[in-house]
Amino acid sequence: LPTRAGSSMEPEEHSMEPPAVPEEEMPLTAVSSPAGRQLFGYVGIEAVLDQMKIKTMKTGFEFNIMVVGQSGLGKSTMVNTLFKSKVSRKASQLGQEERIPKTVQLQSITHVIEEKGVKMKLTVTDTPGFGDQINNENCWDPIIKYINEQYERYLHEEILITRKRKIPDTRVHGCVYFVPPTGHWLRPLDLEFMRRLSKIVNVVPVIAKADTLTLEERAEFKQRIQEDLKTHAISVYPQEDFDQDPDDRALNGRIREKIPFAVVGADQEHQVNGKRVLGRKTKWGIIEVENPAHCEFPLLRDLLIRSHLQDLKDITHNVHYESYRVRRLNESNRP
């Protein structure tokens, strides 16, 4: 018999089964065996965290920090206070001729710090002579050159045909910039440095020797610095563009409200109420470095070490180094 156009000779089959649910949408706990027993029980996936911890404790990890600021702002003392050890070279140990260098000569010191079985290879890069001259034109060039040299060294190791299993990481993960406690506005030197360096490294500004300011002067100075950074579109760490989820945005938002941290460094212990505390002794009492009521050094330590150390390394690798890598590969591909 002739059929109508578009019809089929085969009889239509009507399925009584419900439509299939995509595999990715099926909840694992809903799948059961014929006897009503769940197929998915305890697997032990969280043991991966223990494996990562054991591997990290065996191999250790690297952290590279740079301190930038004029002489006499307490950069070496602050680094020693951060890690509670003599990890930074003291200026008093140098000769009179080396104490005031004519140019910015970067000095890197590497130590291996161990705490509760965790080893960290810490590299501290100091910049003596930055901003000390009468003419400070282009005084940031050696610092930019040093940071890019570390990116270039890592890139060279990465593109080798036979490369190392673990590439030595000398890239600068964080740059702490010390602002002089003038109580006024940021100097053009401070603005220009942070504008240039924030594009290639994580910059954390701090107010050095904050004990020279009253609480009212400190609050006004901090507000003026925040206005200057916003006016000149300088993005310091933690950058708002890199917040991944609402929790990070809320935490980093509270940190950004308090940046720059008003810090006080001290590497000597004093007796206060029967306890040994790090602080600076004055005629009016002892300024406790680790007391949040006295200064904001605990906030800086928590940011650099306890809460955001891995994030500093991730942003350095995924953002700053990636930008340098793309630029260098594009230059090498040009005829």
Mean of pLDDT values over 290-306: 90
Does position 12 have pLDDT exceeding 80, yes or no? no
Contacts 24+ apart (CB under 8 A), 146-153: 146/106, 146/172, 147/66, 147/171, 147/172, 147/197, 147/200, 147/201, 148/200, 148/324, 150/64, 151/320, 151/321, 151/324, 151/325, 152/324, 152/328
pLDDT averaged over every residue in the chain? 83
Burial class of residue 271 (count of CB atoms within 10 Å of its CB; 0-12, 13-18, 19+): exposed
Higher pLDDT, 133 or 186: 186
pLDDT per position as a tens digit, 231-242: 999 999 999 888
CA 55 to chain centre: 22
pTM over 0.85: no
Q: What is the mean pLDDT of residues 30-48?
A: 67
Separation CA 175–CA 207 (nearest Å): 14
Assign 3-class secondary structure to the chain.
CCCCCCCCCCCCCCCCCCCCCCHHHCCHHHCECCCCCECCCCCCCCHHHHHHHHHHHHHCEEEEEEEECCCCCCHHHHHHHHHCCCCCCCHHHCCHHHHCCCCCCCEEEEEEEEECCEEEEEEEEECCCCCCCCCCCCCCHHHHHHHHHHHHHHHHHHCCCCCCCCCCCCCCCEEEEEECCCCCCCCHHHHHHHHHHCCCCCEEEEECCHHHCCHHHHHHHHHHHHHHHHHCCCCCCCCHHHCCCHHHHHHHHHHHHHCCEECCCCCCEEEECCEEEEEEEECCEEEECCCCCCCCHHHHHHHHHHHCHHHHHHHHHHHHHHHHHHHHHHHHHCC
Question: What pLDDT, in 10s, does the model give residues 135-176?
Answer: 888 889 999 999 999 999 999 999 999 988 889 999 999 999
pLDDT tens digits, one per residue of 193-222: 999 999 999 999 999 999 889 989 999 999
| Phi, psi at 276, each rounded to 5° | -90, 120
Over residues 70-100, the pLDDT tens digits come to 888 888 888 888 887 777 765 444 444 444 4
All structural domains of the chain, each given as residue ranges with its CATH number in brackets, are 50-70+78-86+101-127+140-333 (3.40.50.300)
230: amino acid identity, one letter: K
Separation CA 184–CA 190 (nearest Å): 12
> Pick the residue with more confidence: 235 or 8?
235
**Count of CB atoms situated within 10 Å of the CB of 101:** 15
pLDDT value at 128 more than 70: yes
Q: For residue 20, what pLDDT band results from cuts at 50, 70 and 90? A: low
**For position 38, what pLDDT does the model report?**
61
> Is the confidence at residue 247, as pLDDT, over 70?
yes
The tokens of 315 are what? 């942003």
* pLDDT class of 116 with cuts at 50, 70, 90: confident
252-284 pLDDT, tens digit per residue, is: 999 999 999 999 988 788 888 888 888 888 888
